[in-house]
Amino acid sequence: MAFATSNSGGDANNHGGETNLTVPNVKLQSLTHLTDYMPGLKTQPNPLDNSPFFHPISEFYISSSDVIMSNVIHDLSGEFSSPRPHLAYHRAGPRKTIYFDPGQVRAAIVTCGGLCPGMNTVIRELVVGLWEQYGVREIYGIRAGYRGFYSFEPLKLTPKMVHNWHKKGGTVLETSRGGFDLQQIVDSIQHHAFNQLYIIGGDGTMRGMVKICEEIKKRKLNIAVAGLPKTVDNDVGIIDRSFGFQTAVEMAQQAISAAHTEAESAVNGVGLVKLMGRSTGHIVLHATLSSRDVDCCLIPEIDFYLEGKGGLFEFVESRLKNIGHVVLVVAEGAGQDVIPKTGDQSHVQEKDESGNPVFLDVGGWLKTELKNWWKREHPEELITIKYIDPTYMIRAVPANATDNLYCTLIAHSTIHGAMAGYTGFVCGPINGNYGYIPVDEVAQAKNRVDVKNHKWAWVRSVTNQPDFVRCSDSTGK
């Protein structure tokens, strides 16, 4: 069985001799295969055939018609069924036939962008998986992100060397922002004769990977390029969640718990926590739902205002009156449009080396505004505001058990895809199963908090916070 493919020509999804059948209303998100632009590549049986660990039976290998459906919720009445086709993604896992001679593989691993718990586990498992499962012996680490391809000599990696890396936070290979010079990167890849690239990074990294894949295709090089999505922000689309996210949420809860204790122990105590989340509020949302100590959370996806009916300060005031303390959690990217800008800030948006916006401190601003407002409204009453900004503490830690397992599975699943000759793909969990997603699709997709769905309603019911729909008689600014 096979599916309607999203690229009409070619047999990109037919590696392994499958027959194309069409399942109505299902669209298979087809992957690029090296043979699409380099026909005649030699194949060989998967060395896992002889692995003492696997003893492959016939169902062990994944065929090109094994897919994961992106949507697992259906309306059987048909009343609400979508006219749009259901998207299907190739299932990750070992293929019976591979397109690389393991003795000829020269693999390169690079980590880009900000830190995320689990990066070292992914590197470790790429090295161990390539070495143990496929017998690859030439495995290299690229130092300090994309710029490392042309700025540093690659570092030879062995299982012995990476043995303990999963216990460390950060990335032993080092990372960086910026430095994306396409020609220099691909020249260096060619110079070192790498033929498999494993790129660990977030949304920016994936956009860079799209360009690397295009250039490699243009130069007709026999190089498989695979992406492993990392970000604490969980802003990468299509996949269920990114590795390291759960660990970061756990760490964020510690800050919330401290803010709660401080607030409870003061007269009119306000605990204010700022958490990472550049353009998405997933960390804040999940930490709020799991801690239950939060009275109001502010995320980039929701506009809010401070004063007047239905505003944040009215809510704080009522909480202090009724409960005596209040805990507020804000994502760093929230409220950027309402924070007054001074001097140069009003003309130019500051950017980091990758072009990401650098934010004004929403937490510090909230603290000052609330203090001043309280002084005006309640000059005789105490208020104690404790502001906690754990910044890098939530991400510069080793992955927890769940994230470590995730990192292992994603690394091994990615290796299987590259060995099978797929390229320009990103591996990740889709509805609990690991799949291969075309990198251009991942680079375009954005996972923002959906403030119209049940989860956001759940947040509101847990916190009881205002919806910040401005009332017509509001005097708020």
Ligand X SMILES: Nc1ncnc2c1ncn2[C@@H]1O[C@H](COP(=O)(O)OP(=O)(O)O)[C@@H](O)[C@H]1O
Ligand Y SMILES: O=P(O)(O)OC[C@H]1O[C@](O)(COP(=O)(O)O)[C@@H](O)[C@@H]1O
Catalytic site positions: 233
Looking at beta carbons only, is 204 or 311 nearer to ligand X? 204
Q: How far is the CB of 414 from ligand Y (least distance, A)?
A: 18
Which of ligand X, Mg ion, ligand Y, none interacts with 395 (beta carbon under 5 to 8 A by kind)?
ligand Y
Q: Determine contact, residues 328/296, Cβ cutoff 8 Å.
A: yes
Q: How far is the CB of 356 from ligand X (least distance, A)?
A: 5
According to the binding rule CB under 6 A, does residue 113 interact with ligand Y? Answer: yes
Residue 468, strand partner residues: none
Pairing of strands 86-91, 67-69: antiparallel
Which of ligand X, ligand Y, Mg ion, none interacts with 111 (beta carbon under 5 to 8 A by kind)?
none
Q: Determine contact, residues 389/274, Cβ cutoff 8 Å.
A: yes
Whole-angstrom distance, CA of residue 193 vs CA of residue 188 = 8
For residue 120, which of 177, 163, 178, 151 has the smallest C-alpha distance?
163
Residue 138, strand partner residues: 106
Which of ligand X, Mg ion, ligand Y, none interacts with 232 (beta carbon under 5 to 8 A by kind)?
ligand Y
The window from 138-146, 160-168, 229-237, 263-271 that contacts ligand Y (CB under 6 A) reads: 229-237
Question: What are the distances in angstroms from CA 436 to CA 33, 125, 170, 322, 380?
Answer: 12, 18, 25, 52, 62
According to the binding rule CB under 6 A, does residue 284 interact with ligand Y? Answer: no
Q: How far is the CB of 373 from Mg ion (least distance, A)?
A: 34
Sign, CA dihedral 44-440-109-280, equals negative
According to the binding rule CB under 6 A, does residue 223 interact with ligand Y? Answer: no
Query: Rounded to the nearest 5°, which phi and psi values hold at 20?
Result: -80, 110
Task: Give, as one character, the DSSP assignment of residue 357.
Answer: B
Whole-angstrom distance, CA of residue 167 vs CA of residue 399 = 8
Whole-angstrom distance, CA of residue 458 vs CA of residue 466 = 13
Q: How far is the CB of 144 from ligand X (least distance, A)?
A: 10
Looking at beta carbons only, is 217 or 416 nearer to ligand X? 217
Which of Mg ion, ligand Y, ligand X, none interacts with 170 (beta carbon under 5 to 8 A by kind)?
none
Binding residue count for Mg ion, defined by CB under 5 A:
3
Distant-in-sequence, close-in-space partners of 335: CB < 8 Å, separation ≥ 6: 298, 304, 362, 365, 366
- Site residues for ligand Y, 126-185, by CB under 6 A, read 177
The reply to whether 473 sits in an annotated binding site is no
The reply to whether 442 sits in an annotated binding site is no
According to the binding rule CB under 6 A, does residue 271 interact with ligand Y? Answer: no
Distant-in-sequence, close-in-space partners of 216: CB < 8 Å, separation ≥ 6: 186, 189, 223, 225, 423
Looking at beta carbons only, is 85 or 178 nearer to ligand Y? 178
Q: Determine contact, residues 429/240, Cβ cutoff 8 Å.
A: yes
- Site residues for ligand Y, 325-344, by CB under 6 A, read 332
According to the binding rule CB under 6 A, does residue 114 interact with ligand Y? Answer: yes
Looking at beta carbons only, is 205 or 253 nearer to ligand X? 205
The reply to whether 207 sits in an annotated binding site is no
Whole-angstrom distance, CA of residue 90 vs CA of residue 83 = 22
The reply to whether 277 sits in an annotated binding site is yes
Query: CA torsion angle for 203, 204, 209, 211 (degrees, to 10)?
Result: 130
Q: Per-residue x/- mask for ligand Y, residues 387 to 426, rule CB under 6 A?
A: --------x-------------------------------
Looking at beta carbons only, is 203 or 295 nearer to ligand X? 203
Residues that bind ligand X (CB under 6 A): 112-114, 145-146, 177-180, 201-205, 207-208, 211, 231, 354, 356
Whole-angstrom distance, CA of residue 128 vs CA of residue 133 = 8
Which of ligand X, Mg ion, ligand Y, none interacts with 211 (beta carbon under 5 to 8 A by kind)?
ligand X
Tokens of 127: 């090295």
According to the binding rule CB under 6 A, does residue 352 interact with ligand Y? Answer: yes
* Helix segments in 428-472, DSSP class H: 439-444, 454-463
The reply to whether 247 sits in an annotated binding site is no
Binding residue count for ligand Y, defined by CB under 6 A:
13
Which of ligand Y, ligand X, Mg ion, none interacts with 276 (beta carbon under 5 to 8 A by kind)?
ligand Y
Q: Per-residue x/- mask for Mg ion, residues 196 to 235, rule CB under 5 A?
A: ------xxx-------------------------------
According to the binding rule CB under 6 A, does residue 231 interact with ligand Y? Answer: yes
Looking at beta carbons only, is 112 or 411 nearer to ligand X? 112
- 434: alpha, beta or left? (left if phi > 0; alpha if psi -120 to 50): beta
The reply to whether 288 sits in an annotated binding site is no
Q: What is the full DSSP assignment across 205-239?
A: HHHHHHHHHHHHHHTT---EEEEEEB-TT--BSSS
Question: Can you say which residues are annotated as belonging to the binding site for Mg(2+)?
Answer: 203
Question: Can you say which residues are annotated as belonging to the binding site for ATP?
Answer: 114, 177-178, 202-205
Rule CB under 6 A: which residues touch ligand Y?
Answer: 113-114, 177, 202, 231-233, 276-278, 332, 352, 395
Question: Can you say which residues are annotated as belonging to the binding site for substrate?
Answer: 231-233, 276-278, 332, 392-395
Rule CB under 5 A: which residues touch Mg ion?
Answer: 202-204
Question: Can you say which residues are annotated as belonging to the binding site?
Answer: 114, 177-178, 202-205, 231-233, 276-278, 332, 392-395
